[in-house]
């Protein structure tokens, strides 16, 4: 894990008043400047930030992020609020370009989990909804500094306070096994964590595997076995892939949850148990209830603690925290080393942009591959798998793209169109300002300013909308 992670607030240097809770967070994933590497920046929507936060080597805005990086221009880019759900990222005439989703931009509207690259700096934006859930520092099982990571840790910490069943839901590889370990650790139970894969047990042996059996209970039962439930006495029993359990076995599981007793196959008495039950699935259980494939009353037993684990594609800001936990690195001196420090910034960007359909399983395999290429130079993007490269389709900055980008920016920042040309555009677009903005390659707010400069008021604009 990154030891130098900081949590800072961007605000006006002239305003020392307390800052309101952040609406957005900017995660600095990779940077040549060790002061900012791994930092999380809270960006407020009021005050100077409404007009944009500048990023560069020597930014001149009151609200700014100054990064010591020769690949950055003095005033490289700005980030400003566009709406509650979107930010506007604008290149300020930089030499090396501003990249969003791997493509060079002059201006773009971006949302949650957007990946930006400015020079050798790779950033991820996070929409902060204001949920207050912080339960200690990240752990190896539950890494991450995002809001989703904090909420997940909070939900598991709350669930650990009682003995009610817990349901972990999420796509394959989202870390349900790690969440179950965290739940067990936080519960303080003295017994073991026992895992049972519901799909790996033949139906005919399910009861014997779960509840145990006495000697001679069935053919091949030469000796008595306690069963997985009693193995988890005073501990936690995790039932993986519960959504695949046949209906008649769901009924037996429901009885176990309700009565909290087990009777071994071939046995004559029920035995009380003290076990915490945790189930996991990547299935849509409410949909299976509607289809008649899952018992409604069994799903209701997990109602109190149904916890969703989000996929990596919406937790891009946590990706390298997972990487550092899954496959820790150490430098030549034996000190912990974070993955972004050994990768080229384009490699970092590509990994962040990939959707990871198999989530942590796929990430772990990719890290093993990348570790073979770690050397004196940062690991280049070219060593990534073809599937990752095809997905992200990164645009590589070069002198030519920088020259063309500067030309496009000069064109976009030219004088406002002639009023007659603007009126013709309004007529052809029937007064739809978004279409006019798209025609000129500008934001709609710029079109509003042009209308004001040309003396085009609401009445004239309505004429164009009416087709007059």
Q: Is pLDDT of 18 > 60?
A: no
**Alpha carbons within 13 A on the beta-carbon side of 285:** 28
| Predicted local confidence at residue 398, as pLDDT | 42
Query: Domain end: 332, 359, 392, which one?
Result: 392
Residue 67 shares a structural domain with residue 170:
no
Residue 160 shares a structural domain with residue 295:
yes
DSSP 212: -
Report, as an integer, the average pLDDT of 292-317: 93
CATH number at residue 96: 2.60.200.20
Residue 162 belongs to a domain: yes
Residue 166 shares a structural domain with residue 274:
yes
| Predicted local confidence at residue 210, as pLDDT | 86
Residue 379 shares a structural domain with residue 346:
yes
| Predicted local confidence at residue 134, as pLDDT | 54
Residue 208 shares a structural domain with residue 320:
no
Cα four-point dihedral sign 450, 456, 457, 459? negative
pLDDT band at 45 (very low <50, low <70, confident <90, very high): low
Residue 299 shares a structural domain with residue 318:
no
Residue 384 belongs to a domain: yes
Residue 400 belongs to a domain: no
Distance CA 154, CA 157 (A): 5
| Predicted local confidence at residue 5, as pLDDT | 34
Q: Is pLDDT of 396 > 60?
A: no
Query: Domain end: 252, 277, 308, which one?
Result: 308
Q: Which of 4-8, 144-148, 204-208 has the lowest mean pLDDT?
A: 4-8
Q: What percent of the chain has pLDDT over 70?
A: 82
H/E run at residue 99: strand 98-100
Q: Is pLDDT of 14 > 70?
A: no
Q: Is pLDDT of 432 > 80?
A: yes
| Predicted local confidence at residue 441, as pLDDT | 63
DSSP 18: P
φ and ψ at residue 236, rounded to 5 degrees: -130, 130
Residue 226 shares a structural domain with residue 174:
yes
Q: Is pLDDT of 52 > 80?
A: no
Residue 132 belongs to a domain: no
pLDDT band at 454 (very low <50, low <70, confident <90, very high): confident
Residue 177 shares a structural domain with residue 206:
yes
DSSP 50: G
| Predicted local confidence at residue 182, as pLDDT | 95
Report, as an integer, the average pLDDT of 216-240: 81
> How many residues appear in the chain?
468
Q: Which of 260, 243, 237, 252 is nearest to 299 (CA)?
A: 243
Distance CA 306, CA 179 (A): 12
pTM score, whole prediction = 0.76
Pairing relationship of beta strands 40-43 and 24-30 according to DSSP bridges: antiparallel
Report, as an integer, the average pLDDT of 177-205: 91
Our CA dihedral for 143, 145, 147, 152, rounded to 10 degrees, sits at 20
pLDDT band at 417 (very low <50, low <70, confident <90, very high): confident
Residue 139 belongs to a domain: no
Q: How many domains does the chain have?
A: 4
Residue 157 shares a structural domain with residue 299:
yes
Residue 37 shares a structural domain with residue 17:
yes
Q: What percent of the chain has pLDDT over 90?
A: 54
**Residues paired with 308 in a beta bridge:** 169
Residue 135 belongs to a domain: no
Residue 114 belongs to a domain: yes
CA dist 279 → 218, 232, 300 (Å): 28, 14, 13
CATH number at residue 296: 3.40.50.300
Residue 407 belongs to a domain: no
Report, as an integer, the average pLDDT of 340-357: 96
Distance CA 319, CA 113 (A): 11
Residue 351 shares a structural domain with residue 336:
yes
H/E run at residue 446: helix 444-454
| Predicted local confidence at residue 131, as pLDDT | 66
378: left (phi over 0), alpha (psi -120 to 50) or beta: beta
Q: Is pLDDT of 93 > 60?
A: yes
CATH number at residue 343: 1.10.8.60
DSSP 234: T
- Average pLDDT over all residues of the chain: 83
Sheet holding 103-105, edge to edge: 7-10, 40-43, 24-30, 121-127, 115-118, 98-100, 103-105
Complete DSSP assignment for 310-363: --GGG-GGGHHHHHHHHS-EE-TTS-EE-GGGGB-HHHHHHHHHS--TTHHHHH
Maximum pairwise Cα distance, the chain: 96
Domain that includes residue 300, residue range: 147-308
pLDDT band at 415 (very low <50, low <70, confident <90, very high): low
Q: Is pLDDT of 227 > 60?
A: yes
Helix (H/G/I), strand (E/B), else coil: 77:
strand
**Alpha carbons within 13 A on the beta-carbon side of 237:** 27
Residue 32 shares a structural domain with residue 48:
yes
> Is residue 366 within 8 Å of residue 388, measured between CB atoms?
yes
Query: Domain end: 343, 359, 392, which one?
Result: 392
């Amino acid at each position: 894990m990154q030891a130098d992670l900081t949590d800072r607030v961007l605000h006006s240097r002239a305003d020392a008043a307390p800052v309101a809770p952040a609406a957005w967070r900017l995660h600095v994933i990779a940077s040549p400047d060790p002061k900012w590497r791994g930092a999380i920046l809270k960006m407020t929507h009021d005050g100077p930030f409404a007009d944009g936060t500048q990023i560069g080597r020597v930014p001149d805005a009151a609200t700014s992020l100054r990064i010591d990086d020769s690949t950055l221009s003095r005033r490289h880019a700005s980030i400003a609020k566009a709406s509650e759900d979107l930010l506007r990222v604008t290149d300020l005439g930089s030499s090396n370009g501003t990249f969003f989703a791997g493509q060079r931009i002059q201006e773009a509207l971006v949302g949650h989990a957007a990946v930006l690259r400015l020079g050798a700096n790779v950033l991820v934006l996070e929409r902060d909804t204001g949920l207050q859930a912080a339960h200690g520092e990240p752990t190896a099982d539950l890494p991450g500094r995002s809001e989703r990571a904090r909420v997940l840790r909070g939900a598991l910490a709350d669930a650990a306070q009682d003995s009610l069943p817990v349901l972990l839901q999420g796509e394959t590889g989202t870390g349900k096994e790690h969440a179950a370990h965290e739940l067990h650790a936080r519960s303080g139970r003295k017994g073991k964590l026992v895992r049972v894969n519901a799909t790996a047990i033949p139906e005919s042996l399910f009861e014997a595997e779960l509840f145990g059996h006495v000697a001679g209970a069935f053919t091949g039962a030469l000796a008595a076995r306690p069963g997985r439930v009693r193995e988890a006495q005073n501990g936690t029993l995790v039932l993986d892939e519960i959504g695949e359990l046949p209906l008649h076995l769901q009924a037996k599981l429901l009885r176990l949850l309700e009565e909290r007793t087990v009777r071994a196959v071939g046995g004559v008495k029920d035995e009380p148990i003290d076990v915490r039950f945790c189930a996991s699935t990547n299935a849509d259980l409410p949909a299976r209830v509607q289809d008649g494939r899952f018992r409604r009353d069994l799903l209701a037993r997990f109602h109190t603690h149904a916890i969703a684990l989000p996929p990596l594609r919406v937790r891009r800001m946590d990706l390298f925290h997972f990487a550092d936990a899954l496959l820790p690195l150490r430098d030549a001196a034996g000190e912990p080393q974070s993955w972004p420090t050994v990768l080229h910034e384009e490699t970092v960007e590509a990994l962040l942009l990939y959707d990871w359909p198999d989530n942590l399983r796929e990430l772990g395999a990719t890290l093993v591959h990348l570790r073979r290429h770690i050397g004196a130079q940062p690991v280049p993007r070219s060593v990534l798998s073809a599937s990752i490269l095809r997905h992200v389709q990164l645009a590589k900055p070069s002198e030519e793209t920088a020259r063309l980008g500067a030309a496009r920016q000069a064109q976009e920042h030219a004088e406002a169109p002639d009023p007659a040309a603007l009126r013709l555009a309004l007529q052809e677009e029937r007064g739809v300002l978004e279409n006019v903005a798209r025609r000129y390659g500008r934001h709609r707010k710029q079109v509003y300013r042009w209308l004001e400069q040309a003396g085009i008021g609401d009445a004239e604009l309505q004429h164009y909308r009416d087709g007059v």
